[in-house]
Amino acid sequence: MPPAAAPRLKLRLTPAAETAVRAGHPWVFDRSIRDQNRPGEPGEIAVLYDRRNDFLALGFYDPGSPIRVRLLHTGKPATLDSAWWHRRLHEALSRRDSLFTSPPDPHATDGYRLINGESDGWPGLVLDRYATTLVLKLYAVAWLPRLGEIIPLLREALPWARALVLRLSRNLIETARNDHHTTEGFLFSEDSPPRDTVVFLENGLQFEADVRHGQKTGFFLDQRENRARVGSLASGRHVLNTFSFSGGFSLYAARGGARSVTDLDLSEHALASARRNFALNHHAFPQIAACPHLTIQADAFAWLARPPDQLFDLIIVDPPSLARRESERAGALDAYSRLQTSALARLRPGGILVAASCSAHVDEEEFFSVVRRAARATGRPFQELWTSTHAPDHPATFKEARYLKSIALAETHAPRPRPRSGS
């Protein structure tokens, strides 16, 4: 942070950047700054002005990032004091008030996103809930010196929380350790010892989340609604869940009356997590206990490309991001095409393909077009059941935030398998 006597950091933007800010885009890139009154320090608040020298916005400044400013406030001048931050937090939390229910509701959910970064007005910060554990993940250096302010704010607003875990993006780990003496781990916990693995509810199903070491913040909360959609389609079907991770789609399919579910993943650690998730729900749901759960440890690309020796009625293809930068976009589109073609070759007549992408550099229509072309190339008639993007607790208010998309296609000429008795 700058010395106390330093003048406020003031920036003027290019006309194009002014227009983008007024339209609601939350980032100002380095090339968009026309001039500034002094060098800025990582994380300090910058004041942005337009070409007429009128106030435009406030934001976090980061001289080491191409995203030079992450915006906090636009419109009229404001003071970002404790009352302002309190209001900003409660605005985000109130958006979730009516989305989820609690026990004894049979569809209770206590695993969801509370703050979704820029789209909730908290640029570079994500907060997820897993039962009574909170996971705070930071992507921007500006938050590191402010942890002492954030923790009491969260504890006051969320008094039911028994633990708060800090997670950091890879680019922040060294800076956090060297410049702020901060490392990943529990910021507080009422449990002794603190629990790395937390069990939470999602639409009445129990799942485990590794809140300290698991991917993202411990679980893929963003696919909740698509998992529920798969569950509604699974009755009487043999289901293949590729890139299955901890078996979320499979568990919903089993509860929905699937005849069998098969998880395919390269990681034995992930498959073991899927088996534990099934065990968590055996006693609560007879249809889960009755559904054979098979696991295959293999590279999904290679396994799907083999000549099919088994057909399935419902196949889910949800790989990790295949384009982490724009230069990988063309390769990702080709990979998505190969995946859908291989999966469709394993789809039994009358079957359903559910395809998803979390690659931000592949937009919705590009991805949907790839899947539709692969289906047309089979010569089989398919009906589109849905396309979907972000769930309400994962709002995406600008282009770069819109990474998630899914599409479901059902072959139309063959009858569905008859559901088994009692499903």
Beta bridge pairs of residue 409: 353, 384
Q: 168-189 pLDDT, tens per residue?
A: 999 999 999 999 999 999 999 9
Q: For position 415, what pLDDT does the model report? A: 52
Q: pLDDT confidence of 414, banded at 50, 70, 90?
A: low
Sequence ranges of the chain with CATH classification 2.30.130.10: 9-74
Amino acid letter, residue 95: R
Q: Pick from 153, 276, 147: which is nearest to 219 by CA?
A: 276
Q: What is the CATH number assigned to the segment(s) 83-198?
A: 3.30.750.80
Contact 118, 110 (CB under 8 A): no
Q: For position 423, what pLDDT does the model report? A: 34
Q: Pick from 168, 115, 144: which is nearest to 44 by CA?
A: 144
Does CATH number 2.60.40.10 belong to domain 9-74?
no
Q: Is 297 helix (H, G, I), strand (E, B) or coil?
A: strand
Distances (CA, A) of 230 to 261, 324, 385, 409, 421: 12, 27, 11, 12, 20
Which of the listed CATH numbers 1.10.357.10, 1.10.645.10, 3.10.129.10, 3.40.50.150 matches domain 220-411?
Answer: 3.40.50.150
First to last CA, the chain: 61
Amino acid letter, residue 404: L
Question: Token pair of 52, please?
Answer: 């007429």
Q: 180-230 pLDDT, tens per residue?
A: 999 999 999 999 899 999 999 999 999 999 999 999 999 999 999 999 999
Q: 27-84 pLDDT, tens per residue?
A: 999 999 999 999 999 999 999 999 889 999 999 999 999 999 999 999 999 999 999 9
Beta strands in 276-328 (DSSP E): 293-297, 312-317
Q: 107-121 pLDDT, tens per residue?
A: 999 999 999 999 999
Sequence ranges of the chain with CATH classification 3.30.750.80: 83-198
Q: For position 413, what pLDDT does the model report? A: 73
Task: Give the DSSP H/E element, type plus range, for residue 289.
Answer: helix 286-290
Question: Token pair of 18, please?
Answer: 């002014």
pTM of the shown model: 0.93
Q: 333-365 pLDDT, tens per residue?
A: 999 999 999 999 999 999 999 999 999 999 999
Alpha-helical runs (H) found in 111-223: 147-157, 170-180
Sequence ranges of the chain with CATH classification 3.40.50.150: 220-411
